[in-house]
A and B are shown apart, each in its own frame.
Chain A
Amino acid sequence: MRRTGFVDAVDGLGRHDHVCWVFDGPEDYLPVVARFLADGLEGGHRVVFVADGARPGDLDGVDGFAAARAAGAAQVWDLAAYGGAGPVDPDAQVRAYAAMTEQAIADGFAGLRVAANATPLVRTAQARAAFARYEFLVDGYMARHPMSAMCGYHRGELGGDAVAELAGMHPLARPSSTALRLFAADPRTTTAAAALAGEIDLAGHEQLRTALARADLTPVGGTVTVDARELAFIDHRGLALLAGHVRDRGATIELLVGRHGPVSLLAGVLQLDNLRVVAS
Chain B
Amino acid sequence: MRTGPAVGHEGIFHEAAFYASDEEFLAVVLPFLQGGVAAGEPTVSIFGGHRQQLIRTALGAGSDVVFIDGGAHYRRPAAAIRRHREMLAGYVAGGATQIRITGDVPHPGVGVPWEWWARYEAAANEVYAEFPMYGLCPYDTRTAPLEVLDDVRRTHTHVVTADGQRQRSATYHAPRDFLATAVATVPDPVEARPPGCELSDPLPAHARAAVADLQRVAALGEDELNGLLLSVSEAVTNAMIHGRPPVRVRAWAEPSRIVVAVTDGGPGPADPAAGLMPAGGPGGLGLWMAHQLCAYVSLWRDADGFTIRLIAENPTL
Contact = CB atoms under 8 A, between A and B. Distances in A.
Interface of A: 179, 199, 201-203, 233, 235-237, 260-262, 265-266, 269-270
Interface residues of B, number: 20
B125 interface: no
Majority secondary structure, A binding face: helix
Most buried by B among A179, A199, A202: A202
B230 A265 contact: yes
A57 B204 CA distance: 48
Given A236-B234, A260-B222, A270-B289, A202 B240 contact: yes
A266 B290 CA distance: 10
B293 interface: yes
A202 B229 contact: no
Given A203-B203, A235-B204, A236-B286, A262 B237 contact: no
A183 B230 CA distance: 24
Contact of B289 (A179, A199, A269): A269
A269 B293 contact: yes
Contacts of A203: 203-205
Interface in B182-234: 203-205, 208, 222-223, 226-227, 229-230, 233-234
A262 B205 contact: no
Interface in B47-103: none
Most buried by B among A261, A265, A266: A265
Contacts of A202: 203-204, 237, 240-241
A266 B237 contact: no
Contacts of B229: 233, 262
Closest 6 CB pairs of A and B: A262-B226, A201-B204, A260-B222, A202-B237, A235-B233, A265-B226
22 contacts: A179-B205, A201-B205, A201-B233, A202-B240, A203-B205, A233-B205, A233-B208, A233-B229, A235-B230, A235-B234, A235-B237, A236-B234, A236-B286, A236-B289, A260-B222, A260-B223, A261-B226, A262-B230, A265-B223, A265-B226, A265-B227, A269-B293
B153 to A, nearest CB: 33
B6 interface: no
B144 interface: no
A199 B292 contact: no
Nearest to B207: A201
A269 B293 CA distance: 8
Contacts of A270: 289
A270 B204 CA distance: 20
B149 interface: no
A266 to B, nearest CB: 6
A230 to B, nearest CB: 15
A109 B222 CA distance: 47
A232 to B, nearest CB: 10
A261 B223 CA distance: 7
A203 B227 CA distance: 20
Nearest to A237: B237
A233 B227 CA distance: 11
A201 B237 contact: yes
A179 B204 CA distance: 12
Contacts of B293: 265, 269
A113 B212 CA distance: 39
Contacts of B234: 235-236
